[in-house]
């Protein structure tokens, strides 16, 4: 043990707080120490999160009601700019009453149509079946064919690649006997694929497991 320091703490070259204060006071006003966190953004076009058009164009889409709901929630100031009584008055001031009614009717019709379409698409998706088929090629060799994934917006090529990597085996997209695309994986991996779909791994996500069916194709014994 050798060095003993002097009792008083070492002073650096920095000015003491008092000195700093004095300096600040000297340089005129009391400015906030931190700079403003976010600079004012430049004027930009706002896009609607519902229809993805610039806000001015929502009315030409088929989801105006939802667009308006969203905007009111997100940016009430902009909502007022476009949809307040005042804004609407200015805008439709030139339209006749009949014209206004017609416009409203058309909008409602368009919206109903779009909603029906979205409904139908959802129903179709929910009714779509994915089949994992375990196919016996020879006594010992199997392949696993997966059909119907595209209904759930899954890219078949990417899915095949993922499965090939996962099982370190061959996997490809081919047309089945009905002329429909399916993924064929070498080996019997049907249980594993079911599990992957259940967990929604990688690109293989978004398939409700209730829509997946595992079936077995035994080699026909009629030749014997
Ligand atoms: Zn919109």
Domains and CATH numbers, the chain: 55-125 (no CATH), 128-217 (3.30.780.10)
To 10 degrees, what angle do helices 85-92 and 76-83 make? 30
Q: How far is the CA of 98 from the centre of ligand 1 (A)?
A: 25
Q: How far is the CA of 85 from the centre of ligand 1 (A)?
A: 19
CB neighbours of 171 closer than 8 A, spacing ≥ 6?
160, 161, 163, 164, 183, 184, 185, 186
Q: How far is the CA of 63 from the centre of ligand 1 (A)?
A: 7
Q: How far is the CA of 108 from the centre of ligand 1 (A)?
A: 15
Span 33-52, pLDDT tens digits: 665 566 665 667 789 999 98
Average pLDDT over residues 158-184: 93
Residues bordering ligand 1, an ion, CB closer than 5 Å = 48, 50-51, 58, 67
Res. 93 pLDDT band, cuts 50 70 90? low
Which pLDDT score is estimated for 3? 44
Q: How far is the CA of 54 from the centre of ligand 1 (A)?
A: 7
């Amino acid at each position: 043990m050798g060095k003993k320091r002097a009792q008083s703490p070492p002073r650096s070259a920095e000015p003491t707080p008092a000195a700093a204060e004095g300096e600040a006071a000297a340089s005129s006003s009391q400015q906030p120490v931190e700079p403003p966190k976010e600079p004012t953004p430049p004027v930009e076009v706002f896009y609607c999160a519902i229809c993805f058009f610039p806000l001015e164009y929502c009315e030409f889409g088929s989801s105006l009601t939802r667009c308006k709901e969203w905007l009111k929630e997100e940016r009430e100031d902009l909502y007022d700019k476009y949809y307040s009584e005042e804004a609407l008055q200015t805008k439709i001031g030139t339209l006749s009453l009949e014209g206004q009614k017609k416009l409203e009717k058309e909008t409602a019709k368009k919206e109903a149509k779009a909603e029906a379409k979205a409904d139908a698409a959802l129903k179709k998706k929910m009714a779509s079946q994915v089949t994992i088929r375990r196919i016996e090629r020879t006594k010992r060799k199997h392949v696993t064919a997966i059909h119907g994934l595209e209904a759930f917006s899954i890219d078949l090529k990417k899915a095949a690649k993922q499965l090939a990597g996962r099982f370190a085996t061959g996997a490809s997209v081919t047309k089945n006997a009905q002329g429909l695309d399916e993924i064929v994986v070498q080996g019997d991996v049907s249980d594993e694929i079911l599990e992957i779909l259940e967990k929604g791994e990688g690109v293989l996500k978004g398939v409700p497991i209730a829509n997946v069916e595992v079936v077995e194709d035994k080699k026909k014994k009629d030749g014997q």
